[in-house]
């Protein structure tokens, strides 16, 4: 890939994608084109197909209809261009594997099955660990880390893969504020290097400050655009089914005001103690 190509073609192109696990499709007719070098958030209520979208972009789930193109090429034929940071809950933290070995997995895609890992691969894995400041833990078993450290190990794996596109499933779920900042730093650094990132996110409050673009999803795609375009009160109350009555407040206040006061429910501890 050269840079002129990446500028002209969208990093990720999803056309009329429908994925189902049963009679109800998890994703229905989703079409979007994510330009390269953007940090994109995917928001939507629980079970809205956010993880399915990520897995479709990875080529892990097969679409019933529609297509996913990575840098202009069909996803089935693209290998290793997309790195993946799994949801914390989906990882077996008791697995006998060390921090360094996880980072090294990022290099697996660059090798044929008969080729051994080279010294260069270990160096790249170590450098990736350094980037997320996890070098000193490289010999630890992954279960002996804090939640934020665990998240960073998988970030390192994605960095070691040196993919053009990073997909992250809820990286900010259940981590403390310091880790959230550390992960965000790694993401913004990666963006500076021209990586495209798609991040599943559950916190509407921070969504508008973290991401360049937002995808609002609930089975169908409800909106795709800048945070101010997507965080529209009518849209949100439609997607969240008016459960968030407080969205009415959005019509009276500016977005900033509402977010500052932490009026958006289901988003945690925005409220200062009384």
Q: Which residues bind other proteins (CB under 8 A)?
A: 55, 58-60, 79-80, 82-84, 86, 91-92, 95-98, 101, 105, 108-109, 111, 113-114, 141, 157, 161, 272-274
Residue 159: CA count within 13 A, CB half-sphere: 29
Nearer to other proteins, 22 or 46 (CB): 22
Nearer to other proteins, 58 or 208 (CB): 58
Q: To the nearest whole angstrom, how small is the minimum distance from the Cβ of residue 79 to other proteins?
A: 4
Nearer to other proteins, 75 or 230 (CB): 75
DSSP annotation of 118 reads P
Residue-wise DSSP of 40-60: EEEE-STTSSHHHHHHHHHT-
Q: Of 195, 196, 192, 186, nearest to 131 (Cα)? A: 186
Nearer to other proteins, 92 or 241 (CB): 92
Rounded Cα distance between 23 and 17, Å, is: 16
| Residue 164 contacts residue 36 (beta carbons within 8 Å) | yes
DSSP annotation of 98 reads B
Nearer to other proteins, 18 or 141 (CB): 141
Q: To the nearest whole angstrom, how small is the minimum distance from the Cβ of residue 125 to other proteins?
A: 13
Nearer to other proteins, 135 or 238 (CB): 135
Numbers of helices and strands, H then E, in the chain: 11, 10
Whole-Å CA distances, 91 to 79, 85, 186 = 22, 10, 21
Rounded Cα distance between 240 and 137, Å, is: 41
Q: To the nearest whole angstrom, how small is the minimum distance from the Cβ of residue 232 to other proteins?
A: 26
Nearer to other proteins, 32 or 97 (CB): 97
Q: How many Cβ atoms from other residues are within 10 Å of residue 67's Cβ?
A: 15
Q: To the nearest whole angstrom, how small is the minimum distance from the Cβ of residue 226 to other proteins?
A: 28
Q: Of 157, 150, 73, nearest to 110 (Cα)? A: 157
What does the block give as tokens for 39? Answer: 């940090």
Q: To the nearest whole angstrom, how small is the minimum distance from the Cβ of residue 97 to other proteins?
A: 6
Q: To the nearest whole angstrom, how small is the minimum distance from the Cβ of residue 105 to other proteins?
A: 6
Q: To the nearest whole angstrom, how small is the minimum distance from the Cβ of residue 3 to other proteins?
A: 23
**Which residues, 6+ apart, have CB-to-CB distance to 8 below 8 Å?**
none
């Amino acid at each position: 890939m050269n840079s002129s190509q990446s500028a002209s073609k969208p990093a990720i192109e999803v056309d009329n994608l429908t994925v189902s696990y049963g009679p109800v499709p998890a994703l229905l007719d989703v079409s979007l084109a994510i330009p390269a070098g953007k940090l994109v958030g995917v928001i939507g209520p629980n079970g809205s197909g956010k993880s399915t979208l990520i897995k479709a972009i990875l080529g892990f789930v097969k679409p019933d209809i529609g297509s996913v193109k990575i840098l202009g090429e069909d996803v089935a034929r693209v290998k290793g261009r997309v790195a993946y940071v799994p949801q914390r809950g989906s990882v077996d933290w008791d697995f006998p594997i060390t921090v360094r070995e996880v980072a090294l997995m990022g290099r697996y895609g660059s090798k044929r099955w008969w080729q051994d890992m080279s010294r260069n691969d270990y160096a790249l894995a170590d450098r990736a660990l350094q980037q997320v400041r996890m070098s000193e833990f490289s010999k630890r078993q992954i279960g002996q880390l804090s939640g934020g450290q665990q998240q960073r190990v998988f970030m390192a794996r994605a960095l070691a893969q040196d993919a053009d596109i990073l997909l992250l499933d809820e990286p900010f779920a259940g981590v403390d504020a310091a880790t959230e900042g550390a992960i965000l730093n790694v993401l913004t650094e990666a963006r500076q290097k021209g990586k495209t990132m798609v991040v599943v996110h559950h916190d509407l409050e921070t969504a508008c400050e973290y991401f360049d673009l937002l995808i609002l999803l609930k089975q169908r795609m409800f909106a795709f655009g800048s945070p101010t375009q997507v965080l529209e009160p009518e849209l949100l109350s439609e997607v969240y089914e008016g459960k968030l009555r407080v969205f009415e407040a959005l019509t009276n206040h500016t977005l900033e005001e509402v977010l500052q006061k932490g009026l958006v429910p289901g988003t945690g501890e925005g409220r200062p103690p009384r």
